[in-house]
């Protein structure tokens, strides 16, 4: 599944849902942790029907880059793991009653 959005410049971006290998590819291409979001955008985005490379993102209008970063980071903010509450073992409960 992918998401289509119109960037502030009027260009059309299509962001596909990423997989673990996309993150790994972005990590290998980024020279520092600060560059990771740009590399991840390049892995997941297509602009006006064109695939991008990391250097393309660095040359884009700032407003477009910020919009794409917001979309990418929004996926991480909503994907929070949930903790499963520990259930009490029946043998422990019976021992407490006795």
- Model-level pTM? 0.71
Q: Is the pLDDT of residue 12 over 70?
A: yes
Q: Which residue has the higher pLDDT, 4 or 72?
A: 4
**Spatial separation of the C-alpha atoms in residues 32 and 2, rounded to whole Å:** 27
Average pLDDT over residues 62-71: 94
Start-to-end CA distance of the chain, whole Å, equals: 55
The torsion defined by the Cα of 70, 52, 25 and 28, in degrees rounded to 10, comes to -90
**Can you point out the beta strands (E) in 1-98?**
2-6, 12-16, 45-47, 50-51
Q: Is the pLDDT of residue 27 over 90?
A: yes
**pLDDT band for position 97 (cuts 50, 70, 90):** low
Q: Is the separation of the CB atoms in 67 and 10 below 8 Å?
A: no
Cα-based distances in Å from 2 to 53, 56, 74, 85: 19, 20, 14, 33
**Spatial separation of the C-alpha atoms in residues 85 and 57, rounded to whole Å:** 42
């Amino acid at each position: 599944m992918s998401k289509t959005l119109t960037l502030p410049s009027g260009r059309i971006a299509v962001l596909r849902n990423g997989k673990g290998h996309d993150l790994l590819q972005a990590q290998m291409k980024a020279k520092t942790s600060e560059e990771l979001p740009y590399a991840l955008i390049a892995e997941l985005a297509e602009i006006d029907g064109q695939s991008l490379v990391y250097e393309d993102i660095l040359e884009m209008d700032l407003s477009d880059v910020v919009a794409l970063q917001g979309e990418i980071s929004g996926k991480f903010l909503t994907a929070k793991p949930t903790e499963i509450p520990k259930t009490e073992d029946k043998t422990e409960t019976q021992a407490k009653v006795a």
